[in-house]
Structure 1
């Protein structure tokens, strides 16, 4: 069981520019030790025969076919817009300029 020492936690806190009391250092050493052990047990569970994956399920090309379907007319699209101008949605400006 790899224990994380108070000194190692103090060193990490110094690198991260964190001020920690003695009580916090002791508590954090215990908590980090638990985390390291959990990671170690997960590493042991996944053997060399298990391929690395980015997703738990093999997903390939989950996109639908790009098919032209029924669309709204410009008037239908703009009918409930709070404001429109020249056939487009008009929104408040967020950048100053031209």
Structure 2
């Protein structure tokens, strides 16, 4: 009977480690894809608005916004968000991604 239990435990551990490895792969893939799409979005924004006065004036506000994880929202940053979204209506970036893109300019 103990041999049967031992085989059962081995089978359960094998299944559990397999599930963990699979979830790790999925999580890693999702993280890489999200980082890639964020990078694509921010590089497109930073290249498009590198000479834009409204966006350049928002850099200090963007730094505060990123450092506070979105808690501090300055007037210049809000104006830049509105300006960017007005020029690029199909842009699928959230406020934090836009703020990070402004910082790269």
TM-score, scaled to structure 1 = 0.29
Higher strand proportion: 1
Structure exhibiting the larger radius of gyration computed from Cα positions: 1
Highest RCO, 1 vs 2 (Cα 8 Å, sep ≥ 6): 2
TM-score, scaled to structure 2 = 0.27
